[in-house]
Amino acid sequence: MPEAAQGTSRKRLFIGLIAGTCVLVCTLLALLWIVPYVGLRNIHPAAPWVLGLLLGALLLLVLWASLGLLFSVILPWHLPLAKRVRGVTVKLLVPMMSLLGRALGFSKEDIHTSFIKVNNELVLRELGRFSASRILLLMPHCLQNSRCEMRLTHDVDNCKRCGKCPITGLLELRDRYGVHLAVATGGTIARRIVVDKRPKVIIAVACYRDLSSGIQDAYPLPVYGVLNDRPFGPCLDTTVALDRLEAALQRFLLA
Ligand code: SF4
């Protein structure tokens, strides 16, 4: 399937799951109000209304977040406080959407990939441009050739630039634009690198699973995700399309 068509179908899946999640949560919240209403009067005459107001506020929050997200993705419209939409999406809607998607039989890969696609669109809309020193290219360890013995985690410049893996091209990209480049073996090291470099935006390469969890872990720091290619399966001698990475870099870099 062409990349543009794939992107559209992933977006459609995400929108469908968000809409389903919204209906489910709103129905549950409405039920939560109706059921105690029958008995709450016996505790205090005002108790049903207090509970109703609380649940009504929650229901409005879910509706606002879902509609805000749908408008942001489909149309160039923003509801009030639209900047918070990415946060509510990442923290609240995505976990629920994942559960619903799994229950409906969608694969984890489809669900996570659709989330990454929509996250990228929200990040592109939300963010401006930054100086090179505030942009971090964060790479997974599996891009390094599995037979290479150089230790890149502490210093990516230990690479001898032999050209046997994408690290050579990534170092050239770093040198051309002056951005930060780091290789992480896991979430803990990635967090340490982020604290050390203090970027305004991370352009991260990883598989769908690590990207999805990384985007959620890093929030509120924005992460633009680029999926790696896995010609030998997960975690072994993976690759990345450097032209896509460079295009993302140019989008966030001050002219
Ligand atoms: S380019 Fe060569 S030296 Fe550098 S990490 Fe890859 S295999 Fe190792």
Residues of the chain with pLDDT under 70: 1-4, 43, 75-83
| Distance in Å, CA 146 to ligand 1 centroid | 9
User: Of 67, 91, 125, which residue is a domain's last?
Assistant: 125
Q: Which of 147, 149, 155, 160 to mutate to test the pocket of ligand 1 (most atoms within 8 A of CB)?
A: 160
| 106 and 174 fall within a common domain | no
| 38 and 88 fall within a common domain | yes
| Distance in Å, CA 163 to ligand 1 centroid | 6
Give the separation between CA 24 and CA 210, rounded to whole angstroms.
Answer: 28
| Distance in Å, CA 239 to ligand 1 centroid | 13
| 37 and 113 fall within a common domain | yes
| 72 and 154 fall within a common domain | no
| 137 and 185 fall within a common domain | yes
Which residue has its alpha carbon closest to ligand 1 atom 2? 162
User: Of 92, 107, 125, which residue is a domain's last?
Assistant: 125
The predicted pLDDT at position 78 comes to 60
Please report the atom of ligand 1 found closest to the CA of residue 147. 7
* Alpha-carbon torsion (9, 11, 14, 20), positive or negative: negative
| 15 and 111 fall within a common domain | yes
The predicted pLDDT at position 154 comes to 84
**Number of domains making up the chain:** 2
| 172 and 213 fall within a common domain | yes
Please report the atom of ligand 1 found closest to the CA of residue 150. 8
pLDDT digits (tens, 9 = 90+) for 87-115: 777 777 788 888 888 899 999 899 999 98
| Distance in Å, CA 48 to ligand 1 centroid | 66
| 8 and 121 fall within a common domain | yes
| 120 and 133 fall within a common domain | no
The predicted pLDDT at position 81 comes to 61
| 139 and 225 fall within a common domain | yes
As for ligand 1, residues whose beta carbon falls within 6 Å of it are 144-145, 148, 150, 159-165, 167-168
Quickly list DSSP for 100-122: HHHHTT--HHHHHHHHHHHHHHH
Instruction: Tell me the residue range of the domain where 170 lies.
Output: 128-252
**Angle, vertex CA 115, rays to CA 73 and CA 254, nearest 5:** 70
| 133 and 244 fall within a common domain | yes
Torsions phi, psi for 71 (to 5 deg): -65, -40
Q: What residues contact residue 238 under an 8 Å CB cut-off, 6+ apart? A: 140, 142, 143, 207, 228, 229, 230, 231, 232
